[in-house]
Structure 1
């Protein structure tokens, strides 16, 4: 595998954006903030632009200069500063995961809860190994067999977030019925195994799965998949969308709200949780026919 090139992590970008927002709200220039900290102004600029790290112990001092006294905010930002210096497990895969995918995994790891709309595919956190390999082979069309194998490993490794001992991810998925009827001609039992695995996922207390029936009112789900990541305060919700060219993030609050509203409407069109489970079970029982 190629060597991983060190770039600003998504955590450093989020931290820098938040510190810039607090500085602007305090109506302080970069120069004034730097003088208050005894730093060169370039240091403030580099921190805010994710080009330099900030020590966790300096975060609280900087927030005090900005008039931020909420201990929860200070703790959240200090923790993010500490985590920004850690090497993510996915970095051991070198350049195989694209930069946007590394950002996605990092955001997913930091999230408190995730809501995803998946009209045509079972979400990655619910995919078993066989299904993941088929999907990645079909969609990662520029990848070598070795890279596909690595991407399957990464997808499986991500799933531990649902069963981690402390604060397992709260995951709410709305899946199109079309995705459940997928068949693989060369692997007739694959989909049955995948649906059985999906049923197992419904047993987790932190997981909520709903199915959008094929016969239903039109919804925004027809335009493609999207995922909403929610974090503890003070971090705002982030949205990701996907296509053949990769993952794209939406962070503007007004645009994020559009996706919030869209998800709510998709949920209304979906079957309730219990009925969704029965629908999955029924489709699984007929998967080999």
Structure 2
């Protein structure tokens, strides 16, 4: 079962949609007898909102679900999906929707990311993270920067806890060359990358400038893959003030194939580690 409330909401939505389709009911046939809006049903099925267990019971009655174990499982999911993750208290500090991303990230088993400008948040040092946050902030507010740094560092526990996520990062060579925060901070960050690349669950590849044009030149992206095949992959695209999560199968396939193409063109993990090490003193 998913462990984060956000992931539980998503799983619950997937299951409820599957049951609706199995009952051969469309949205209108569900919302009309329940007195709901189409928006409410859509948000439930896409996992955008927490669902009261009573509403889940009403849906299961409408779908003629008699299996008591399944009913209890979904009602339990509904109750647990209303809990708050550790990141919830920071939601006013985060970009719109990023708290939902953190909830899904915390439940992923594999994270694949391509970054063109900066080191991925899961691999940033405290000083580098602060420099990035302060450089991209519209307003310089010290306490908000502190909180954002704390959130970023807390997320990194995913790489080192008992069942760590596997992170596969492809970094454009520009990430190594762009000096963020000054020479000392950059050297510390590159050293940290080499150290993190030594973890068995972390793979870092560098896409060198000589690789030329490629299919991901439109921008960075993150793919989340979950331990249960019932939970489809998600692609996350970060923007300046918000983020976008893609769940369409065709879009997921495009980004998955693009990531595979990037890994094929990038330096191997060993070659990448050597290039990063050379960049520390250059």
Task: Give the Cα separation in 2 of the matches to 1:106 and 1:183.
Answer: 31
1:202 aligns with 2:197: yes
Q: 1:245 aligns with which of 237, 241, 247?
A: 241
Q: Could you tell me how far apart the structure 2 residues matched to 1:143 and 1:228 are?
A: 31
Alpha-carbon RMSD across the aligned residues, in angstroms, is 3.4
Equivalent residue number for residue 221 of structure 1: 216
* Contact preservation (8 Å) 1:239, 1:251: yes
1:261 corresponds to 2:254? no
Q: What's the CA shift for 1:81?
A: 3.6
CA distance in 2: counterparts of 1:66 and 1:164, whole angstroms: 42
Residues 118-144 of structure 1 deviation map (CA, whole Å, 9 limit, x = unaligned): 122110000000000111111232452
Number of paired residues? 268
Match for 1:129 among 126, 130, 138? 126
TM-score by length of 1: 0.79
Shift of 1:153: 0.8
Partner of 2:171: 175
Q: Which residue of 2 aligns with 1:101?
A: 98
Tell me: CA distance 1:17–1:194, structure 2 relative to 1, closer, same or farther (3 Å): same
Structure 1 equivalent of residue 136 of structure 2: 139
Does residue 148 of structure 1 match 2:145? yes
- C-alpha distance in structure 2 between counterparts of 1:218 and 1:66, whole Å: 54
Matched residue SS, 1:111: coil
Residues 11-55 of structure 1 deviation map (CA, whole Å, 9 limit, x = unaligned) = 535532441233113414579889xxxxx7358975663355254
**Maintained 8 Å contact 2:96/2:242:** no
Which segment is superposed worse, 152-161 or 187-196? 187-196
The answer (yes or no) to whether the contact 2:27–2:41 under 8 Å persists in 1 is no
How has the CA–CA distance of structure 1 residues 13 and 209 changed in structure 2, closer, same or farther, with 3 Å as cutoff?
Answer: same
Per-residue CA deviations over 1:202-251 (Å, capped at 9, x if unaligned) read 12111111110111131123221000111122011110112223211111
Q: Which sections of structure 2, spanning at least 5 residues, go unmatched?
A: none
Structure 2 residue 271 is the aligned partner of structure 1 residue 275: yes
